[in-house]
Chains A and B, each alone.
Chain A
């Protein structure tokens, strides 16, 4: 009984001494931080230029957008340089968008991935993007507008327009995964001077491989099997008429299979698409059954051609955003990444079987 009391007393003393240790942890009180939401990197004469965009909520409730620019020879020192110009410490824990300019992407992305993307405090819903023009111009443009809306723009497009989804989680999986390559959104300013996201950048390891245009982006989305949707414009021909019809894809399913994985692999995609055609040419009367069948078959034929074309394009540029290498690795006994991409990948034959199921309705959602 007495012994127990002594133990409790000693335990108490220990606990109280821990209170003194409270000075060891640095506190980050939320209104004394500069929380950066967008970070942009570009390179000029061997030096990295970083632009940070943050919103200051202390003055007004809406928040005022500020940018800060720093330059240094490595990525980590850029953040230090930005810090030296700010009145509150810079924190990138809530970073939402990381823009990398095209020249860094063409050379070497690994520096930026090492420093920023692998920081444990950064959330995995960070969006990494490549931009055509230096990011500081884009960010200055946004500062003029007054709202840091750019991440919201990209996220909204993921959902409603069905651009292929990409965030840090998927990015790191593809970057470090064997047999996969990264693909990120490609930002640019359109003629009106507004930021637009219409294209997708596909990488080869850490260098920029190729840029997909709008239609190819939708096809890539279908092949990716994450959330199949989007709108494709397809050429439809009947007798002497030829015009565009727009297929709105509602949902879909894709089955990937491989045969003969070791020597001459043959990848087949079996795609089922449920969609409807809302915007069809005037000369095609949809009430007639034969026209429906015609439309269906033409859509299937065209999509099959376009998809095969895209896959061949990937093969040509030796990029692999779909993870074909990973898939084949799972089905074969010996697999070496270097060897695969040099010898086997160019010889793969792709086969696409597509079935479009049209649901007729006159009601627009």
Chain B
């Protein structure tokens, strides 16, 4: 599927007003469009709707009986408003409005076939075909609520408002997509979020010209400042508590109908390593897990390139006691370390890609086959060394510790250029790779906020919640880089614990 979209000032396709006849002729081409009169003479009243968009139950039980009962008293459309048991009623005259509303599930009531005024009655059937079960599939926590967003945006908004129950939570809706007409909503906390950020989001969303919005991640890519990066610039989450946490900090959330993921921005690098579990456990334990996560990311990116660089160029660095096992394990391998490493990494990527698409029944067996048999067999066939196998397996595991799926993809991909530079220039190659990586990261911005905030524009106050999570007595302030209008979140009034604590 090819997407056509333009971010900059090119002319947008606008719908010019169409005559009603054309609208109905176009609609009649589909066989799920019904246009009929509940009475014998079609001169009396005409109802038209798309059967697939409308809740047929309500039409049969509520709309038709009430019209049929009160038909004597009806002389014009306003009278119908008095007795129909529906709340969302509009009078529309414009052809394109009629078309839009028909597609959204409204029923058009026309007093006479020739009249050009319609009463649009909202009988849309929202939850049709959408899953009701909202367990988070991809972001699992052991403690804490397991509720997540689903594809229906009204339910999502309901869940959000459950958590933030003040009217300061403002949710603005726009329609994006010339064919899909998807409802996209911006959510923010009025009075806390920086109005400039909100204005930027509004402006960028308005400038989007897309035909179908498949998923929220498209909007993510369009809204981002830099499209040539592998790092996600927006935090996308399926969990309610994560989205609410971002909102409370002063970020802006974008929801879209038909996607269970909510994106929040502006996001920085540290946001992607936060899990809700850090907050549900005591702060020392939470900080410990967070530190493990950071170390495992560094290990995952640099372990295999270091193996390649050291074994190919810098044998002097290896301690004497380690020389024996290393040389012995590589004794019969015919390839240089680069080829070994690339072979193993590609095998693991193959396993991952294949495993993602397998039907569940076959997936189990393939996991065992791939993991154990292939690994063991390659060592015995002397295609790789067993020390490398351990390193590759550990770094593959370590790349899964990031809670955000897009970020763990980025880390997976990032390993390969490092392996190539390490094979070409050794330790110097890794340094060159790091220079490029840092050069890219330091320039990356998410809505104008630098990506590496507590580190690069060095902000000491923000360190309280980045590498470690300090106790709740100290995380009372919002991060300044989002420029919120109110800094203090809450004031802890705990009695200071002292030695004579009785």
Chain A residues within 8 Å of B, Cβ to Cβ: 19, 22, 25, 27-31, 33, 35, 37, 55, 57-63, 91, 93-94, 96, 121, 123
Contacts and interface: CB of A to CB of B under 8 A. Distances in A.
Interface string B106-131: 00000000000000000000000000
Contact of B328 (A61, A91, A93): A61
A254 to B, nearest CB: 33
Contact of A25 (B318, B320, B327, B426): B426
B318 A30 contact: yes
Interface in B290-345: 310-313, 315-316, 318, 320, 323-328, 330-331, 333, 336-337
Q: Which of A37, A57, A59, A93 has the most CB of B within 10 A?
A: A57
B327 A28 contact: no
Contact of B331 (A25, A31, A35): A31
B320 A37 contact: yes
Contacts of A62: 324
Given A19-B424, A25-B425, A96 B327 contact: no
B427 to A, nearest CB: 12
B425 A22 contact: yes
A264 to B, nearest CB: 50
Given A30-B323, A30-B326, A94-B316, 20 more contacts: A19-B424, A22-B424, A25-B313, A25-B425, A27-B336, A28-B315, A30-B310, A30-B311, A30-B318, A30-B327, A30-B330, A31-B326, A31-B331, A31-B333, A35-B323, A57-B324, A57-B327, A60-B328, A93-B315, A94-B315
Contacts of B311: 29-30
A35 B315 contact: yes
A29 B324 contact: no
Contact of A61 (B315, B324, B337): B324
Contact of A31 (B310, B313, B327): B327
A61 B320 contact: no
A58 B328 contact: yes
A27 B423 CA distance: 9
A57 B337 contact: no
Nearest to B335: A29
A119 to B, nearest CB: 11
A91 to B, nearest CB: 7
A19 B312 CA distance: 17
A19 B333 CA distance: 25
Closest 7 CB pairs of A and B: A93-B316, A57-B327, A58-B331, A31-B330, A22-B424, A30-B315, A57-B328
B402 to A, nearest CB: 29
Nearest to A62: B324
Contacts of B330: 30-31
Contact of A28 (B312, B323, B328, B331): B312
B316 A58 contact: no
Interface in B328-370: 328, 330-331, 333, 336-337
Contacts of A25: 313, 425-426
A61 B387 CA distance: 14
Contacts of B337: 29
B502 to A, nearest CB: 43
B331 A91 contact: no
28 contacts: A22-B424, A27-B312, A27-B313, A27-B336, A28-B315, A29-B337, A30-B323, A30-B327, A31-B326, A31-B331, A31-B333, A55-B324, A57-B324, A57-B327, A58-B327, A58-B328, A59-B331, A61-B324, A61-B325, A61-B328, A91-B315, A93-B315, A94-B316, A94-B318, A94-B320, A94-B323, A96-B320, A123-B316
Contacts of A29: 311-312, 336-337
A7 to B, nearest CB: 14
Contacts of B324: 55, 57, 61-63
Contacts of A91: 315
Contacts of B315: 28, 30, 33, 35, 91, 93-94
A158 B336 CA distance: 39
Contacts of A60: 328
Nearest to A33: B315
Interface in B90-105: none
Query: Which residue of A27, A33, A37 has the most chain B CB atoms within 10 A of its CB atom?
Result: A27
Contacts of B424: 19, 22
Contacts of B336: 27, 29
A38 to B, nearest CB: 12
A330 to B, nearest CB: 35
Contacts of A28: 312-313, 315
Contacts of A55: 324
Nearest to B336: A29
B125 to A, nearest CB: 48
Nearest to A63: B324
Contacts of B313: 25, 27-28
A91 B313 CA distance: 12
